[in-house]
Amino acid sequence: MPENKPPVSVLGLGMMGTALAAAFLKAGYPVTVWNRSSAKTGPLVAQGALPAKTAAEAVADSPLVVFCLLTNDNVEELFATLPEAVAGKTLVNLTNGTPAQARDLAAWAAKHGAHYIDGGIMAVPQMIAGPHAYVLYSGDEQAYETHRPTLAALGGTKWTGTDPGLAALQDLALLTGMYGMLMGVLQAFALVRTENIPATEFSELLVPWIGAMLAGAPELGKAIDSGQHLTDVSSLAVSQAAFPNLLNTFRDQGVSTEFFEPFQAILDRAIEQGYEADGLSRLADLLKK
Ligand code: FVH
**pLDDT tens-place string over residues 80-127:** 999 999 999 999 999 999 999 999 999 999 999 999 999 999 999 999
- 202 lies in the same domain as 269: yes
pLDDT value at position 289?
A: 86
Condensed to tens digits (0 to 9), the pLDDT of residues 135-180 reads 999 999 999 999 999 999 999 999 999 999 999 999 999 999 999 9
pLDDT value at position 2?
A: 52
For ligand 1, mutation pick of 70, 96, 170 (most atoms within 8 Å of CB)? 70
Nearest to residue 39, comparing CAs of 21, 22, 14, 57?
A: 14
pLDDT value at position 1?
A: 46
Share of the chain above pLDDT 70, in %: 99
Q: How many CB atoms are located within 10 Å of the residue 53 CB?
A: 9
- 122 lies in the same domain as 177: no
- 216 lies in the same domain as 123: no
Domain count, the chain: 2
Domain that holds residue 187: 170-286
pLDDT value at position 232?
A: 83
- 197 lies in the same domain as 134: no
Mean pLDDT for the stretch of residues 215-219: 95
| CA quadruple 181, 182, 186, 189: dihedral sign | positive
Condensed to tens digits (0 to 9), the pLDDT of residues 236-285 reads 999 999 999 999 999 999 999 999 999 999 999 999 999 999 999 999 99
In a domain, 1, yes or no: no
Residues with CB under 6 A from ligand 1: 12-17, 35-37, 40, 68-70, 74, 77-78, 95-96, 121, 124-125
What CATH number did the domain enclosing 240 receive?
Answer: 1.10.1040.10
- 114 lies in the same domain as 144: yes
Cα 143 from Cα 149, distance rounded (Å): 11
Cβ–Cβ under 8 Å, residues 233 and 273: no
**What pTM did the predictor assign?**
0.94
- 130 lies in the same domain as 184: no
In a domain, 2, yes or no: no
End residue of a domain, out of 162, 183, 215: 162
- 157 lies in the same domain as 174: no
Cβ–Cβ under 8 Å, residues 156 and 139: no
Residue 238 CA to ligand 1 centre (angstroms): 45
End residue of a domain, out of 144, 162, 180: 162
pLDDT value at position 280?
A: 97
Residue 71 CA to ligand 1 centre (angstroms): 7
pLDDT above 90: residue 3: no
Average pLDDT, the chain: 97
- 181 lies in the same domain as 142: no
Cβ–Cβ under 8 Å, residues 229 and 286: no
